[in-house]
C-alpha cells in the first residue's frame, strides 16, 4: 500500500511532470519588427597604409544624413527616364539594316580625316569612361551615403545606381564607334581598360562624403569640358556624327555636374566651415584624374614613361586649358 504522504508526493511529482511536459511545447508566431532607420556612427578616423580613412566627424555625418529630402527634390530630378534618353544605337549604323556595311564604309571614310593626336585624346576619354565600375565603387566607399544593400531605396542609393546607369552609355558608345572606324588598336585599348579597372583609383577622399563630393564636382566639370572639346574639334574635322556623340556625352556630364554642385551647395548652407575646409583639403592634395593609374602593360617598359602622363600631355597640346577654363573648374 502507498501511504497518504507517498501518494501526495507522487501526485505532486505528476503535477511537475505535467508542467514540464507543457513547457516543452513551444508555439512560434512571426511578429513583424518595426522598421527603424539605421543609426550611422562615425568609424574613425583611422590610418591604414599611411592614409587617413573615415575622417568625417559624427556631427557632420549626421548632417549628411539629413540631406535625403534635398536629393529627392533637387538632385534626382536631374536624372533622365531611360525610355526617353539617347542610347548608343541612336548614333550607330543599324546592324539589321540591309545597307549596314555601306553605312560602316561611310563611317570609315568620314573618320579617315581625324588626326592621330585627336584619336589619342578621344581614346583617353573613352578609357576613362569605360572604367565606370571603379567610380561606382568609389562612391560606395563614402560613409553615410553608400548603397548598403546594392539595391537600397534610399535617395543616395538611387542616385549612385542611376548616375552609373546614365554614365554607362558613354563608354559603350565611344567604344563601338572607335571599333567601327578601324583606326585604333582595340585589343591594346581593351587591355588598358582591364588594367585600369583592376588598378582602381585613389582620390584620397578618406571615405568622407564632404571630400568625395568636392572631388566629383571637379571631375564632372572637367569631363564636360573635355567632351565638349572633342565635339568641337570633330565638327571642325567634318565628322558631324562624332561631334553629336561627344556633345551628347558632354551634356550628360553637365547635368551630373549640376547634381554634385547642388549636393555641395546644401553642405555649404548647413556647414560652411566644414565645406570650405573640405574644398581646401582637396585642392591641397591636388585633384587626381580618375584614370591616373592607366597602364597598357607595355608603354612604361618600352619607353620608361608613364602612359597616363603621356596621354595627358597630348591632351594639353591638342586642347590647352586657357586661364578662363582653369578658373571655371576651380570655381565649380
**CB contact set of 98 (below 8 Å; sequence gap of 6+):** none
Output the pLDDT for position 43.
Answer: 74
What residues are labeled active site? Answer: 86, 129, 167, 170, 220, 223, 252-253, 256
Pick from 104-113, 145-154, 209-218, 292-301: least confident: 292-301
pTM score: 0.82
Task: Please report the pLDDT score of residue 328 as a whole number.
Answer: 47
Is the per-residue pLDDT at 2 higher than 60? no
Render pLDDT for 90-115 as a digit per residue (tens, 0 to 9): 999 999 999 999 999 999 999 999 99
Q: Between 267 and 46, name the one with better pLDDT.
A: 267
Taking 60 as the threshold, does the pLDDT of residue 10 lie above it? no
> In which band, very low, low, confident or very high, does the pLDDT at 319 lie, cut at 50, 70 and 90?
low
pLDDT mean over 2-24: 49
The C-alpha atoms of residue 304 and residue 297 are separated, in whole angstroms, by 12
Q: Tell me what pLDDT residue 296 has.
A: 80
Q: Which of 85-94, 97-106, 293-302 has the lowest mean pLDDT?
A: 293-302
As a whole number, the mean pLDDT across the chain is 87
307 pLDDT higher than 50:
yes
Mean pLDDT in residue range 250-278 = 98
Q: Is 84 helix (H, G, I), strand (E, B) or coil?
A: coil
CA distances from 175 to 30, 73, 106, 133, 295 (A): 52, 34, 18, 16, 18
Q: Which pLDDT score is estimated for 13?
A: 53
Nearest Cα residue to 111 out of 227, 230, 26:
230
Query: What's the pLDDT at 184?
Result: 97
Looking at the predicted structure, is the pLDDT value of residue 22 above 50?
A: no
Q: What is the mean pLDDT of residues 183-211?
A: 96
pLDDT digits (tens, 9 = 90+) for 161-177: 999 999 999 999 999 99
Q: What is the pLDDT of residues 33-57, one digit of tens each?
A: 444 445 567 776 888 888 899 999 9
Average pLDDT of the segment spanning 222-243: 97
Cα 322 from chain centroid?
28
Q: Is the pLDDT of residue 260 over 80?
A: yes
Asked whether 219 and 227 are in contact (CB, 8 A), the reply is no
Rg over alpha carbons for the chain, rounded to the nearest Å, is 29
CB 48 within 8 A of CB 41: no
Range in 109-123, 136-150, 234-248, 316-330 the model is least confident about:
316-330
pLDDT, mean of residues 177-202: 96
Q: What is the pLDDT confidence band of residue 326, given thresholds at 50, 70 and 90? A: very low
- How high is the pLDDT of residue 110? 97
pLDDT of 267 over the 80 cut: yes
Amino acid at each position: 500500500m502507498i501511504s497518504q504522504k507517498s501518494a501526495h508526493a507522487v501526485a505532486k511529482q505528476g503535477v511537475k511532470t505535467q508542467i514540464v511536459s507543457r513547457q516543452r511545447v513551444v508555439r512560434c508566431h512571426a511578429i513583424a519588427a518595426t522598421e527603424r532607420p539605421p543609426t550611422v556612427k562615425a568609424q574613425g578616423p583611422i590610418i591604414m597604409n599611411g592614409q587617413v580613412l573615415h575622417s568625417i566627424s559624427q556631427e557632420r555625418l549626421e548632417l549628411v544624413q539629413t540631406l535625403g529630402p534635398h536629393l529627392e527634390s533637387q538632385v534626382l530630378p536631374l536624372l533622365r527616364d531611360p525610355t526617353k534618353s539617347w542610347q548608343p544605337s541612336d548614333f550607330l549604323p543599324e546592324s539589321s539594316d540591309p545597307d549596314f556595311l555601306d553605312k560602316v564604309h561611310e563611317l570609315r571614310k568620314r573618320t579617315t580625316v581625324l588626326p592621330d593626336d585627336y584619336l589619342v585624346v578621344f581614346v583617353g576619354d573613352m578609357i576613362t569612361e569605360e572604367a565606370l565600375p571603379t567610380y561606382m565603387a568609389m562612391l560606395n566607399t563614402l560613409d553615410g551615403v553608400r548603397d548598403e544593400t546594392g539595391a537600397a531605396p534610399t535617395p543616395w542609393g538611387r542616385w549612385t545606381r542611376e548616375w552609373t546607369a546614365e554614365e554607362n552609355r558613354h563608354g559603350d558608345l565611344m567604344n563601338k564607334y572607335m571599333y567601327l572606324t578601324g583606326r585604333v588598336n582595340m585589343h591594346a585599348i581593351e587591355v588598358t581598360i582591364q588594367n585600369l579597372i583592376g588598378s582602381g583609383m585613389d582620390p584620397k577622399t578618406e571615405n568622407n562624403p564632404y571630400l568625395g563630393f568636392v572631388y566629383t564636382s571637379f571631375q564632372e566639370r572637367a569631363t564636360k569640358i573635355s567632351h565638349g572639346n572633342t565635339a568641337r574639334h570633330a565638327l571642325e574635322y567634318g565628322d558631324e556624327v562624332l561631334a553629336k556623340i561627344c556633345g551628347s556625352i558632354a551634356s550628360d556630364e553637365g547635368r551630373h555636374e549640376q547634381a554634385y554642385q547642388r549636393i555641395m551647395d546644401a553642405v555649404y548652407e548647413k556647414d560652411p566651415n566644414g565645406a570650405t575646409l573640405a574644398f581646401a583639403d582637396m585642392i591641397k592634395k591636388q585633384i587626381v584624374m580618375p584614370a591616373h593609374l592607366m597602364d597598357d602593360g607595355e608603354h612604361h617598359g618600352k619607353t620608361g614613361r608613364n602612359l597616363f602622363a603621356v596621354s595627358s600631355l597630348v591632351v594639353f597640346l591638342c586642347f590647352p586649358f586657357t586661364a578662363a577654363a582653369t578658373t571655371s573648374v576651380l570655381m565649380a
